[in-house]
Chain A
Amino acid sequence: MVRINIDGKELQVPAQSTILEAAKNNDIFIPTLCHHPKLTPFGGCRLCLVEVKGFLKPVTACTTTVGEGMEVVTSSPEIEELRRLVLELILSDHPNDCMVCEKTGSCALQELAYMYGVREAEYAGERRNYETRDGNPFIERDLEKCILCGRCVKACDEIQGVEAIDFGYRGFRAKICTSYEEDLDCEFCGQCVAVCPTGALTGKLWKLKGRPGTTKEIDTVCPYCGIGCNITAHVKKNEIVRITSAEDTWNEGWLCVKGRFGYQFVSSPDRLVRPLIRTAPKSGMPSLGRKGIKWGEVFREASWEEALDLIASRIREIKETHGADALAGLSSARCTNEENYVFQKFMRAAVGTNNVDHCARL
């Protein structure tokens, strides 16, 4: 631990921490754009500039490690003027698109512009102009909104180990791109989307479906593999319009393509909506994807009462004729603990057989 002083506050902080971490852990605010707590520091956006006694120039808080006796000033007229200048420069080449931007309400740039009262571009001039050409069905890239913070590059490399994107070109032409500027070909985990501070990277499926703040948010667990990532479902008009994961979950907000973008099955028009009872004789073969089968000619819709009565009477009949062990049940690893508990209790106590299993072997 070392002793430092931030804005007149005497603090004891871990020796390896940066000024930014020390400040954050002690509820002292320093604005940032390129910093992300789960990624290595970059020092690119220059918003976290602070004054350190004895240093000739302001330093970036995110990349400067604390030292014994260090005295830090996080806010002064000079520092605030510098930050404002940085923001004005960024905004001078940023589309004034907040009205329809998916990120509005959760945009770090918008929030800082609000905080510093930066309304319009002070520095008119050339603007970046990129064609949208994206072949992938998951991630929308709007490079004109990119502030070159590099979070996406770091997430792709440090977290996902894929390195699908990097900084390309120099100076005004600098942009985040793939090798040879080809379409994104990656794992589509969307970690880059999750860490993007602006609307440069968003989910294709999200478009005009409802921005954060206008949706109901429900914390639950991903329905796919056995890892059990914590997710937040964003719901509007009884439809899931976005899946996110918070940074403070045990999975640190990281998800995979299925967890982040594979939620459309819930509102699929193919969902079963009424009980069905077979009317046609069994053909013995499933269609295996063959198109054009009219289910209305094979099953008829039935009320719950009728379907449940039929099931109960058939179970009773078969049990009486062949014994309870002529019945068997397969439960599901997709269902909850409670449903699985009830299923095996149903087979054992109501039907009377231990012929119950699920897909753990398959």
Chain B
Amino acid sequence: MTNSIPEIEGMEVIFIIGSNTKESHPVVANRMIKAHRRGAKIIVADPRRVPMVKFSEVFLKMRPGTDIALLNGMAHIIVKEGLLNGEFVREKTEGFDQWKKSVEEFTPERVEGITGVPKEDIVRAARLYGLSRKAGIFYTMGITQHTCGTDNVRAIANLVMLTGNIGRESTGVNPLRGQNNVQGSSDAACMPNVYPGYQKIDMPGIREKFEEAWGTALPPKPGLTATEMMDAAAEGRIRAMYIMGENPIITDPNMHHTIKALGSLDFLVVQDIFMIDTAELADVVLPAACSFEKDGTFANTERKVQRVRKAVEPPGEARDDMSILLEISKRLGYDMGHDTPEKVFQEYGRLWPAMAGITYRRLDGGGIQWPCPSGTHPGTRFLYKEGFPKGKAPFSSVAYCPPAEVTDEEYPFVLTTGRNLFQYHSGSMTRTVKSIEKHAGEPYVEINPLDAGRLGVRTGEMIKVASRRGEIEIRARLTKRVSEGTVFIPMHYREAAANVITNDALDPVVKIPEFKVCAVKIEAVR
């Protein structure tokens, strides 16, 4: 997020696209509702009638995978009606004139044709966002989990630059992070192309800096992303994997491919708190401690580093992840040179200036948002106050490109996936909570009553949902939340796993899979 969560209260316009905020980030939704009570106008763009629609001024119920058309269409109207922030465009951006040509073809009529959203609503949304100079955009995986995910984000950035809605309090771009420490895992560089603090492996001098700090030679070539690792494993290029606290069988697309990939490894270590699905394929399973059983820090979606404190002892012989890794490292002949979370955090701060000013002692007074370069720096509530780090931000022309798999006669429905309010991700934690299981323990597919009627399916009946990659049987939930032609399956349930069906086609830049759109066929199970 470029803004902080409390800043939401001060926004005039809140544009939510590809985020089921009320179910996936409920406490952010609380702030949005507060802003709404104070008069903020909310725009929701989503293929489903998600709960935040109740508070919206305009709801753009779009076809899955048509975000670029919608965003370019809004930009088209903002340019045409002169609602743009000319001063910001002149002073802070570049490439406007050329980009402008790229949105000319996205007339409201054409965009209505692609997205299925009435053109009047697109115009209303464009005017609301375009006229505001204190607007925030919020998105999550509904934007990023597409083969055009990177372009979707670029289209959002164009809209932001066009209106200058960034770099001020209560004004900015806010991707909401889906996991407690996904920001922190990225910051700490569990990514194949960077060292901690997003310092690129192949930038001159960077590898040398880390080689000196860690006292050993480091590999020069960037590695594989999670999705590429699975392909490499299936092809025999990866022979062993160490999986700590992840359950790719449930969370990766095209489950049969993931199972084949992990099954072809010579050696698989899974370190987790439960016997998760992925652990069933392991050679060694190590019992880990959960976050209530250890000390450390998390970084949340607004870049805020907060203290995690040990509340209980881990069960049996389970150990915290860090001490397990230190032990194996020692056995491999490399002593990491630190033994407590606080010492690790200090080393982290020495190697990444944006984290340098944060200490455990300071965190006892509350979380601190990076960048925080010195011990007296208060942290950074919102980004880009002093402009963009690289100078002028470039507009980038983004062409609309349909999803990798579109419907046809054989597979006439679009499947989109996501989370529900009660369960969480692969379910390894929430599905062991009895009260949650009692309330929301059964997998289901959301289907429009008109589609269900045509198939002769009533609510609660089992239906078969199949794609080119696999099929599952699952209970139908008839709801107008989804439009005709679209079905939705929450990702949490291993016994009817949505990812048996999903498409593992990747965005070419960031290698994110297209979880949000694939073509399926549906039939009643008699």
B-binding residues in A (CB < 8 A): 136-138, 158-161, 187-189, 204-205, 216, 218-230, 233, 235, 238-240, 250-251, 254-259, 261-268, 270-278, 282, 284-289, 295, 298-299, 304, 307-312, 314-316, 318, 321-322, 324-362
A239 contacts across to B, CB distance below 8 A: 312
* With contact pairs A255-B27, A258-B436, A327-B238 given, residues A221 and B307 touching in the complex (Cβ less than 8 Å): yes
Instruction: Return B494 CB to nearest CB of chain A, in Å.
Output: 5
A324 contacts across to B, CB distance below 8 A: 219
* With contact pairs A318-B266, A350-B334 given, residues A361 and B281 touching in the complex (Cβ less than 8 Å): no
- Give Cα distance in the complex from A354 to B221, angstroms: 7
A346 contacts across to B, CB distance below 8 A: 325, 328-329, 336
A159 contacts across to B, CB distance below 8 A: 30, 33-34
Residue B424 is within 8 A (CB to CB) of chain A in the complex: yes
* With contact pairs A136-B439, A357-B229 given, residues A228 and B325 touching in the complex (Cβ less than 8 Å): no
* With contact pairs A271-B273, A362-B226 given, residues A327 and B332 touching in the complex (Cβ less than 8 Å): no
Tell me if B306 and A343 are in contact (CB < 8 A). no
Tell me if B25 and A226 are in contact (CB < 8 A). yes
Instruction: Return B466 CB to nearest CB of chain A, in Å.
Output: 17
**The one of B6, B424, B493 that contacts A258, using a Cβ cutoff of 8 Å:** B424
- Give Cα distance in the complex from A353 to B366, angstroms: 36
Tell me if A223 and B328 are in contact (CB < 8 A). no
Tell me if B307 and A220 are in contact (CB < 8 A). yes
Who on chain B is nearest to A189 by CB? B26
Tell me if A262 and B27 are in contact (CB < 8 A). no
Tell me if A345 and B25 are in contact (CB < 8 A). no
**The one of B223, B313, B430 that contacts A353, using a Cβ cutoff of 8 Å:** B223
* With contact pairs A227-B27, A340-B184 given, residues A358 and B33 touching in the complex (Cβ less than 8 Å): no
Who on chain A is nearest to B176 by CB? A226
- Give Cα distance in the complex from A289 to B432, angstroms: 12
- Give Cα distance in the complex from A256 to B29, angstroms: 10
Tell me if B429 and A304 are in contact (CB < 8 A). no
Residue B433 is within 8 A (CB to CB) of chain A in the complex: yes
Who on chain B is nearest to A316 by CB? B332
- Give Cα distance in the complex from A276 to B317, angstroms: 12
* With contact pairs A330-B244, A336-B291 given, residues A286 and B513 touching in the complex (Cβ less than 8 Å): no
Tell me if B291 and A274 are in contact (CB < 8 A). no
Instruction: Return B472 CB to nearest CB of chain A, in Å.
Output: 10
**The one of A138, A233, A330 that contacts B248, using a Cβ cutoff of 8 Å:** A330
Instruction: Return B457 CB to nearest CB of chain A, in Å.
Output: 23
B307 contacts across to A, CB distance below 8 A: 219-221
Tell me if B278 and A286 are in contact (CB < 8 A). yes
B344 contacts across to A, CB distance below 8 A: 338, 341-342
Tell me if B184 and A264 are in contact (CB < 8 A). no
Tell me if A350 and B328 are in contact (CB < 8 A). yes
- Give Cα distance in the complex from A245 to B81, angstroms: 47
- Give Cα distance in the complex from A335 to B290, angstroms: 8
A352 contacts across to B, CB distance below 8 A: 218-219
A328 contacts across to B, CB distance below 8 A: 223-224, 229, 232-233, 238, 240-242
Tell me if B6 and A360 are in contact (CB < 8 A). no
Residue B259 is within 8 A (CB to CB) of chain A in the complex: yes
Tell me if B316 and A338 are in contact (CB < 8 A). no
Tell me if B226 and A335 are in contact (CB < 8 A). no
A187 contacts across to B, CB distance below 8 A: 22, 26, 421
A229 contacts across to B, CB distance below 8 A: 27
Tell me if B240 and A326 are in contact (CB < 8 A). yes
Instruction: Return B187 CB to nearest CB of chain A, in Å.
Output: 7
Interface set, chain B 262-320, CB cutoff 8 A to A: 263, 266-267, 269, 272-275, 277-288, 290-294, 296-302, 304-313, 315-320
- Give Cα distance in the complex from A233 to B294, angstroms: 13
**The one of B290, B298, B367, B512 that contacts A265, using a Cβ cutoff of 8 Å:** B290
Residue B251 is within 8 A (CB to CB) of chain A in the complex: yes
Tell me if B181 and A334 are in contact (CB < 8 A). yes
In the complex, per-residue mask of B199-225: 1 if CB is within 8 Å of any chain A CB, else 0: 001000000001000101011011111
30 A-B pairs within 8 Å (CB atoms) are namely: A137-B436, A160-B33, A216-B311, A220-B291, A221-B300, A223-B429, A228-B180, A230-B367, A256-B421, A265-B273, A268-B433, A271-B273, A272-B316, A286-B281, A287-B280, A315-B240, A322-B239, A325-B221, A327-B239, A328-B229, A330-B248, A334-B290, A335-B185, A338-B348, A346-B329, A348-B195, A348-B210, A353-B223, A359-B182, A361-B225
B493 contacts across to A, CB distance below 8 A: 289
B298 contacts across to A, CB distance below 8 A: 221, 228, 336-337
Tell me if A220 and B285 are in contact (CB < 8 A). no
| Contacts across chains A and B counted by CB atoms under 8 Å | 476
Tell me if A339 and B432 are in contact (CB < 8 A). no
* With contact pairs A220-B308, A312-B328 given, residues A354 and B219 touching in the complex (Cβ less than 8 Å): yes
Tell me if A228 and B312 are in contact (CB < 8 A). no
Residue B46 is within 8 A (CB to CB) of chain A in the complex: no
Residue B192 is within 8 A (CB to CB) of chain A in the complex: yes
Residue B227 is within 8 A (CB to CB) of chain A in the complex: yes
Tell me if A220 and B292 are in contact (CB < 8 A). yes
Who on chain A is nearest to B191 by CB? A357
In the complex, per-residue mask of B324-358: 1 if CB is within 8 Å of any chain A CB, else 0: 11111101111010000100110110000000000
Tell me if A356 and B223 are in contact (CB < 8 A). yes
Instruction: Return B143 CB to nearest CB of chain A, in Å.
Output: 13
Tell me if A275 and B245 are in contact (CB < 8 A). no
Tell me if B285 and A330 are in contact (CB < 8 A). no
Tell me if B325 and A289 are in contact (CB < 8 A). no
- Give Cα distance in the complex from A216 to B186, angstroms: 33
Instruction: Return A343 CB to nearest CB of chain B, in Å.
Output: 6
Instruction: Return B16 CB to nearest CB of chain A, in Å.
Output: 14
Tell me if A271 and B316 are in contact (CB < 8 A). yes
Tell me if B187 and A337 are in contact (CB < 8 A). yes
Who on chain B is nearest to A355 by CB? B223
Tell me if A327 and B241 are in contact (CB < 8 A). yes
Who on chain A is nearest to B210 by CB? A348
- Give Cα distance in the complex from A116 to B167, angstroms: 54
Instruction: Return A351 CB to nearest CB of chain B, in Å.
Output: 7
Instruction: Return B470 CB to nearest CB of chain A, in Å.
Output: 12
A344 contacts across to B, CB distance below 8 A: 188-191, 195-196
A227 contacts across to B, CB distance below 8 A: 5, 25, 27-28, 176, 300-301
Residue B249 is within 8 A (CB to CB) of chain A in the complex: yes
Who on chain A is nearest to B241 by CB? A328
- Give Cα distance in the complex from A346 to B331, angstroms: 12
Most buried by A among B186, B227, B285, B320: B285
Residue B321 is within 8 A (CB to CB) of chain A in the complex: yes
B291 contacts across to A, CB distance below 8 A: 220-221, 223, 334-336
Instruction: Return B315 CB to nearest CB of chain A, in Å.
Output: 5
Residue B178 is within 8 A (CB to CB) of chain A in the complex: yes
**The one of B193, B251, B273, B430 that contacts A272, using a Cβ cutoff of 8 Å:** B273
B275 contacts across to A, CB distance below 8 A: 270, 272, 295
Given A187-B22, A258-B436, A346-B325, 17 more pairs with CB closer than 8 A: A137-B435, A239-B312, A266-B290, A268-B432, A299-B285, A312-B331, A326-B238, A328-B224, A337-B187, A337-B345, A338-B345, A338-B348, A348-B195, A348-B214, A349-B216, A349-B218, A349-B334
Instruction: Return A113 CB to nearest CB of chain B, in Å.
Output: 32
Tell me if A137 and B190 are in contact (CB < 8 A). no
In the complex, per-residue mask of B131-160: 1 if CB is within 8 Å of any chain A CB, else 0: 000000000000011000000000000000
Tell me if A235 and B297 are in contact (CB < 8 A). no
**The one of A310, A327, A342 that contacts B325, using a Cβ cutoff of 8 Å:** A342
